Amino acid sequence: MAEGAAVVGTGAPVRKPVRRGRWVPYALLAPGLLWLVVFFVVPMITLGSQSLQEGNIDDGYVFTGNVSIYADAVQRYWPHLVRSIGYAATATVLALVLGYPLAYFMAQKAGRWKNILLILVIAPFFTSFLIRTLAWRNILSDDGPVVAFAQSTGFTSLLQAVGLTSNDTLLASKFAVICGLTYNFLPFMILPLYASLERLDPRLVEAAGDLYASPREAFRRVTWPLSLPGVVAGTLLTFIPAAGDFINSRLLGNTETVMIGQVIDSQFLRVLDYPLAAALSFILLTMIVVLVAFYVRKAGTEELV
Amino acid sequence: MNEHSPITPMQAAFIRGAISRRTLMAGAAGLGVTALAACGSKGKSPSASSSGSVTPTAKAAQDMSDTEKIVNWSNWQQYIDVSDDEKSRPTIDAFTKATGIKVNYTEDYNDNDEFYAKVRPLLAGGEDTGRDVWCSTDWMVARLIRQGYVQPLDKANIPNAKNLEAAFQDVSFDPGRKYSLPWQAGFACIGYNTKATGGKKVTTITQLLTDPALKGKVTLLSEMRDTVGLVLLDQGKDPSNFTEADFKAAIAMIQKAKDAGQIQKFTGNDYTDGLSAGDIAACVAWSGDVASLSLDAPELELTLPEAGYTLWSDNFVIPAMAKHKKNAEQLINYYYDPKVMAEVEAWVNYIAPVAGTKDAVAAIDKDLAANQLIFPSTETLSKAKKFRDLTSKEESEFTRLFTNLATG
């Protein structure tokens, strides 16, 4: 990258100016690096040291290097961690299933409607995250038309049978939390998918057809592999924030759907147990990093990162 | 404000909401709030202050009151009078008209712990919170004073403070009322939506926590003292004088209900939306909320449980570094005029801490002055208990137990 930047500025064969221009890329990187240091590295160090403190809110917290807190935290909040990962993964898969056809349609078939559809996908972002989630509370309200419809079609009984709800309503259940997560993060799935599907050359699919591939085979061997960078980016952008989310479970869930984000929130703000909250944040971070590293390796898209 | 319009429906709501299940007897015309003294001093309460440490003093900012005619007031939802079209708040408008001070009234106080968490980093850093006055519950006032986060009130700017009811004068968390003056007091009780319960009444905490008809449609307050207080009373214990074992027994009862799927969740003041919509069938609620909501929704009812109920007060405090301290004091002074407080009470249905409010209300409507929620009789008050002061250690231990229950 260093050479590249210098070459653009000076013209290829001249040697001396290349040396002089070496600081340019670093200067260009500096604001970004500074940002990372100030808003990521420093808080991470603070958080790390906080997790190893002991004390209480009145007398203050002191660093004692109490590592056992991590074991305690994992032992106590294991179900919450597993549940959070589970909900986030389910929401990610749902968002992919819902988002892929839409992104494909927008990128390949929508023609002049393309921009309008794009705006519609982004439009919900004009209102706050909280308001959008609260709206779901109205949509799924016990006396609302959605519940009435779901009850009359037997959908609520089905959900109850598979354990996604605990009674014949929809609100305050696993189902509602997963719906909320899927809805709130769906645009993060659609936009990267759209970006990679838009670059897909339709002639490649045509060529596959010419070589006697069925539409299904053409999708499996041409469209899907070429859209993989979008799939990986979309799933990461959906999964990572969903795993740490605490709003959906708080507003749409019940006492059995508490996600780890909600535990961290209440330990930080209510119990004022900063070390435990910091330790839980680190555990969540580590779990996500490990899962994501494993996933990216499996998905095999080096060009993505 | 049309002074009569909120009162007639109020009566109706009151009859539906409270009188129907409460015995309103001769005592109604009786002692009123002064009787609070009797229950306030009941029970032995350990000191709230932490292990003998000196209370730090709150830093004051330069007071901009004379140049900036503003006061920023944070308060709870449903906690002040509103006009019939719900577009204005008559008593605030009248204050602005009289003094030229604009009130930025924000309903961002949903829960004591949540609010404390929001302002603590600023207070600890010695910065302005952007608020000049807010209303904290008694135990939170104790913490704010202990940590030096609130400023002493300049009573010279609050001559009406003399109207403070004797019962609220000497409280354990702020002896002599140096830092705080009560805004409202009230009961924690059971609220329910008859549409969602299928017409069934909810009369006891045991029923709330075990009735299969309410399964999954019950919420409890994340305010530990109210939720646990009611459960303690249901178990025959006294919240003003209980042991750690009693507390744990109460927690165990809630845990059992939670494990059985009875409890939907723990909420702050935002339970009111769900209760109105019927998504919550029954809950631990604050008396005035349910009473004032039932004005528009006759299906909402409240029960003051026979076993007893908790009594709390929310108090005006002025945080450290507040920019408009004098304006805030003028605001407090304004609400300590019984005539103004009477207008607020007609709407909020809580207990007025201002002496003379009852006479002011009686002048408008005699029946309103008999409302047990605003002017409780000795009988009503005899069953109201205050949650005892907790030591720092107890406070963190109990909060931990309760929050782990709520999020475990």
B23-56 residue pLDDT tens: 233 333 333 333 333 333 333 333 333 444 556 7
Q: Where are the domains of chain B?
A: 7-23+30-40+187-311+385-407, 70-185+313-378
CB B139 within 8 A of CB B113: no
For B264, phi and psi rounded to 5 degrees? -75, -50
Residue A197, both tokens: 């599907």
Q: Is A254 on the interface with B (CB under 8 A)?
A: yes
Which B residues in the span 110-129 are in contact with A, Cβ-Cβ below 8 Å?
A: 113-114, 117
Q: What's the pLDDT score for residue B19? A: 33
CB B322 within 8 A of CB B132: yes
Check B396 against A268: CB less than 8 A apart.
Answer: no
Rounded Cα distance between A54 and A44, Å, is 18
CB B313 within 8 A of CB B182: yes
Check B279 against A137: CB less than 8 A apart.
Answer: yes
Mean pLDDT by 10 residues, chain A (305 residues): 44 55 89 94 94 83 91 94 97 97 93 92 90 92 92 93 89 95 96 94 94 94 92 95 94 93 91 92 95 86 50
- Residue length, chain B? 408
Rounded Cα distance between B407 and A257, Å, is 9
Q: What is the chain A residue with the closest CA to B262?
A: A255
Q: How many C-beta atoms lie closer than 10 Å to residue A255's C-beta?
A: 22
> Quick one: average pLDDT of B95-108?
96
Q: What's the pLDDT score for residue A15? A: 54
Q: What's the pLDDT score for residue A19? A: 62
Q: What's the pLDDT score for residue A17? A: 53
| Percent of chain B's residues with pLDDT above 70 | 87
> How many cross-chain Cβ pairs, A to B, lie less than 8 Å apart?
72
Q: What's the pLDDT score for residue B2? A: 39
Rounded Cα distance between B249 and A259, Å, is 27
Determine whether B189 is exposed, middle or buried from the number of CB atoms within 10 Å of its CB (0-12, 13-18, 19+): buried
Check A58 against B216: CB less than 8 A apart.
Answer: no
CB A193 within 8 A of CB A100: yes
The interface predicted TM-score of the complex, written ipTM, equals: 0.79
A30-62 residue pLDDT tens = 999 999 999 999 999 999 999 999 887 777 788
Q: How many C-beta atoms lie closer than 10 Å to residue A136's C-beta?
A: 21
CB A160 within 8 A of CB A167: yes
Rounded Cα distance between B317 and B250, Å, is 32
Q: What's the pLDDT score for residue A14? A: 52
Q: What's the pLDDT score for residue B35? A: 38
Lowest mean pLDDT among A4-18, B169-183, B351-365, B375-389: A4-18
B7-23+30-40+187-311+385-407 shares its CATH topology with B70-185+313-378: yes
The CATH number assigned to the domain with range A70-304 reads 1.10.3720.10
Residue B21: pLDDT band with limits 50, 70, 90: very low
| Cβ-based contacts of B265 with chain A (< 8 Å) | 172, 250, 253-255
Interface with chain A: mutation pick from B256, B265, B396, B397, highest number of A CBs within 10 Å: B265
Residue B374: pLDDT band with limits 50, 70, 90: confident
For A54, phi and psi rounded to 5 degrees? -135, 155
> Quick one: average pLDDT of B146-162?
95
Q: Is A170 on the interface with B (CB under 8 A)?
A: no
Which A residues in the span 99-158 are in contact with B, Cβ-Cβ below 8 Å?
A: 137-138, 141-143
Q: What's the pLDDT score for residue A18? A: 54
Lowest mean pLDDT among A98-107, B4-13, B173-182, B313-322: B4-13
Q: What's the pLDDT score for residue B37? A: 37
For B242, phi and psi rounded to 5 degrees? -130, 165
Rounded Cα distance between A91 and A78, Å, is 20
Check B407 against A258: CB less than 8 A apart.
Answer: yes
Residue B407: pLDDT band with limits 50, 70, 90: confident
Residue B187: pLDDT band with limits 50, 70, 90: very high
Given its phi and psi angles, is residue B349 left (phi above 0), alpha (psi -120 to 50 degrees) or beta?
A: left
- Highest average pLDDT, of A19-28, B57-66, B295-304, B331-340, comes from B331-340
Please tell me the class of the B7-23+30-40+187-311+385-407 domain.
alpha beta
Q: Is B34 on the interface with A (CB under 8 A)?
A: no
Q: What's the pLDDT score for residue A20? A: 65
Q: Is B279 on the interface with A (CB under 8 A)?
A: yes
B109-133 residue pLDDT tens = 998 988 998 999 999 999 999 999 9
| Cβ-based contacts of B263 with chain A (< 8 Å) | 254-255
CATH T-level topology, domain B70-185+313-378: D-Maltodextrin-Binding Protein; domain 2 (3.40.190)
Rounded Cα distance between A274 and A269, Å, is 9
CB B247 within 8 A of CB B232: yes
Q: Pick from B229, B232, B183, B169: which is nearest to B36 by CA?
A: B169
Query: Mean pLDDT in chain B?
Result: 86
Q: Where are the domains of chain A?
A: 2-51, 70-304
Check A272 against B396: CB less than 8 A apart.
Answer: yes
Rounded Cα distance between B197 and B303, Å, is 14
* B341 pLDDT above the threshold of 50: yes
B160-171 residue pLDDT tens = 999 999 888 888
| Cβ-based contacts of A172 with chain B (< 8 Å) | 216, 264-265, 279
Rounded Cα distance between B163 and B357, Å, is 9
Residue B328: pLDDT band with limits 50, 70, 90: very high
Which B residues in the span 291-330 are in contact with A, Cβ-Cβ below 8 Å?
A: none
Q: What's the pLDDT score for residue A262? A: 94
Q: Who's near A131: CB < 8 A, 6+ residues apart?
A: none
> Quick one: average pLDDT of B204-229?
95
